[in-house]
Amino acid sequence: MNARRLAALGITAVGILIAAYLTVLHYDARVPLYCAGEGGLVNCGDVLASPESVVLGLPVPLWGLFWFLAAGVLAWLRPGRERIRRWLMAWSVAGGVVVVYLVYVEFDVLHHVCIWCSVLHALILALLALQVYEASLRP
């Protein structure tokens, strides 16, 4: 397994863990929210409880969990399959577009940022950067 594939699988594994935590947090009020710097700009509770944190009846972290699971499957299946590589690139681009929208919502609509969400955003952008880098290596 090459280093880039291992990095993609690591990124998706961390994303799955964080998105799963935030999803459980959404459905179970007994789960504690651990968020550094609560108050002011950083306020995970307000972001995660906002009306914008639910899309089509599902919490955004659950959508993120689905995204990371699919990305992980694509990363796992990818070796030597150009079609799978293209799907992973397209999936990563779609994730990057959603990240831009979610960051806009955090800053411009909610005026608060969730650290957990920001880590997930960074992971999605890292996977996108990895796919772009890998594509640049292809003739």
Q: What is the pLDDT of residue 1?
A: 61
Q: What is the pLDDT of residue 30?
A: 92
- Residue 72, phi then psi, degrees to nearest 5: -65, -40
Q: What is the 3-state secondary structure (H, E, C) of 38-63?
A: CECCECHHHHHHCHHHEECCEEHHHH
Q: Which range is least confidently modeled, 2-11, 38-47, 59-68?
A: 38-47
Q: What is the pLDDT of residue 134?
A: 87
Q: What is the pLDDT of residue 79?
A: 65
Per CATH, which fold does 3-133 belong to?
de novo design (two linked rop proteins) (1.20.1440)
Mean pLDDT score, 31-55: 87
Distance CA 13, CA 40 (A): 30
Q: What is the pLDDT of residue 136?
A: 87
State pLDDT tens for residues 54-65.
999 999 999 999
Decide if 33 contacts 75 (C-beta within 8 A).
no
Q: What is the pLDDT of residue 36?
A: 66
pTM for the predicted model, two decimal places: 0.92
Q: What angle do CA 125, 26, 88 make, to 5 degrees?
A: 25
- Please choose, from the candidates 129, 137, 134, the residue with its C-alpha nearest in 3D space to the C-alpha of residue 99: 129
Domain-wise residue ranges, the chain: 3-133
Mean pLDDT score, 1-7: 85
Side chain identity at residue 91, one-letter code = W
Residue 29 carries which DSSP code? Answer: T
Mean pLDDT score, 28-54: 87
Residue the block writes with tokens 């799955």: 16
User: Would you call 113 helix, strand, or coil by DSSP?
Assistant: strand
